Structure 1
Amino acid sequence: MMMHRLIAPFFAATLALPAAAMDLTELTDAERAQFRAEVRAYLMDNPEVIMEAVTLLQNREAEAQARADDNLVSDNAAAIFDDGYSWVGGNPDGDITLVEFLDYRCGYCKRAHGEVAKLLETDGNIRLIVKELPILGDQSVLASRFAIATKQIAGDDSYKAVNDALMAYNGDVTLPALRRLGSTFGLDMDAIEARMDSDDVTMEIAQTRALAQQLSISGTPTFVMHDELLRGYLPFDQMMALVEEKRG
């Protein structure tokens, strides 16, 4: 499929002749066979042309995807940056907002957690929004329900502590394990466990999933930095460079 997409425009480019000079639809079978042989011979003698065409196509597709993603962010800005329930950390008055869609069972989310923390500590002027997007099975959902219920019952500081702990945790996510984790922070686990299956918690997860669908997010971590959708894990240096770019 990729080769077909490259060769078709190549035919047109190599035969950029006046319309009267050649009509490909009127070639005889012999003329068409000769034409194909000449094109093949040219490509065999100049294989770098194919790689140049592949690179050009990839660049154009990347630019088109970036434009489409920019439109998605703009069209869904209110839900991304001001949904009224997602946890907000870092500097709430920061000039750059970083939004992270995460899953506690995601290995790349765990790697990104330390990078994001380093970014916030190093810069000091970044507002962080965390969106719970459990997509890796029942244990992911259970972990997110626990984190959201903690936020609703015990507040933002407790949510931050639980979020950090869940990102560092590598065992199976079970209710007994969550109870042990919650007890280390002095949380009212009876109240939190009762809230975990509530409509309020279910609504947060459902709305974030709906937003992820609108943004064509299929994996975690996914970030939105200022006005740009960033799909996948980003190391600290790359995030720092993007922050500086956004500030101009």
Structure 2
Amino acid sequence: MMQSLRSRPLLGAATTAALALGAALLPSTLPAPALAQESVPGTTPLTEPEREQFRAEVRAYLMEHPEVLLEAIQVLENRQQEQAAEAEVSMIEQNAEAIFNDDHSWVGGNPEGDITLVEFMDYRCGYCRKAFEEVEELVESDGNIRFVLKEFPILGEDSVAASRLAIATQITAGDEAYKTLHDALMTYSGGYDEVSATRLLSSLQIDPTPVLAELQSDEVNAVINANRALAQQLQITGTPTFIMEDTMLRGYVPLQGMRSIVADLRQE
């Protein structure tokens, strides 16, 4: 659903702001309110002719050195990226218990691993499905990653139905059955009516009767609501979103990229 961003905001706002600054400075008819109207202590306010001369000199300089605008854009974007990364670290710290140690999310990999990888996922998300095998490979091949799955259905009724089925399976049949169903749902293309769900669960040797009875339960609702509330606190709006320690990865990241991030975190 999303392209990969590592602790990075959208850059369009920075570019737009810098270009708007340049555009505002270029016209010689820039209105007087754009410049300070009150004098700085110890200085004399600019006269109108002085303002016009200042505007003309700025315009001439920018016309002669347009690369200055590009440099300003880059500085602004870098500053915004740093601020966004700092804000995400703060959000992760404030919600660490709910992110890494809640009482309902499935936990796999190495429970004692030195890195915890958390994934907010949706079964109907194409990028989640693309990332699925690579995340599994990362966790299995590394051997020292603790992996936490967060059900975060945001792509319509089928997404919610799939998450309900998975959560109800975990509640009634345990973590192993949940992971078996989770893996199947990552490639599943069928429906979620009672007949389809019964057929899917039975094919995985999971008793469908208690699962189907649990689908609309308060406990299932509580898990979905808790994950949505946490995502809102973290300003997560798309899937997949990964959190590794104090690093947030918004979108699909190829296997090698994930391995590089893990290596960087271990060196910190």
Q: TM-score, normalised by structure 2?
A: 0.83
The aligned runs of 1:56-95 (5 Å cut-off) are: 56-95=75-114
Structure 1 spans left out of the alignment, 5+ residues: 11-17
CA–CA separation in structure 2 for the residues paired with 1:87 and 1:6 = 51
CA 1:179–1:57: 2 relative to 1, 3 Å: same
Deviation at 1:38, TM superposition (A): 2.3
| Other structure's SS at 1:64 match | helix
What's the counterpart of residue 165 of structure 2?
146
- Residue type of the partner of 2:108? G
Deviation at 1:5, TM superposition (A): 4.8
- Residue type of the partner of 1:4? A
- Residue type of the partner of 1:201? V
Q: 1:219 aligns with which of 210, 215, 238?
A: 238
Deviation at 1:117, TM superposition (A): 0.7
CA 1:20–1:69: 2 relative to 1, 3 Å: same
Return the structure number with greater relative CO, CA threshold 8 A, min gap 6: 2
What's the counterpart of residue 101 of structure 1?
120
CA–CA separation in structure 2 for the residues paired with 1:5 and 1:209 = 38
Structure 2 spans left out of the alignment, 5+ residues: 1-15, 27-39
What's the counterpart of residue 15 of structure 1?
none
Deviation at 1:171, TM superposition (A): 4.2
What's the counterpart of residue 4 of structure 1?
20
Deviation at 1:35, TM superposition (A): 2.4
- 2:262 equivalent to 1:243: yes
Q: 1:27 aligns with which of 47, 58, 73?
A: 47
CA 1:228–1:43: 2 relative to 1, 3 Å: same
Deviation at 1:177, TM superposition (A): 2.7
| Other structure's SS at 2:186 match | helix
| Other structure's SS at 1:168 match | coil
RMSD: 2.2
| Other structure's SS at 1:128 match | strand
The aligned runs of 1:123-138 (5 Å cut-off) are: 123-138=142-157
What's the counterpart of residue 203 of structure 1?
222
User: Is 2:25–2:59's contact at 8 Å kept on the other side of the alignment?
Assistant: no
- 2:66 equivalent to 1:47: yes
Higher helix share: 1
CA 1:6–1:44: 2 relative to 1, 3 Å: closer
- Residue type of the partner of 1:240? R
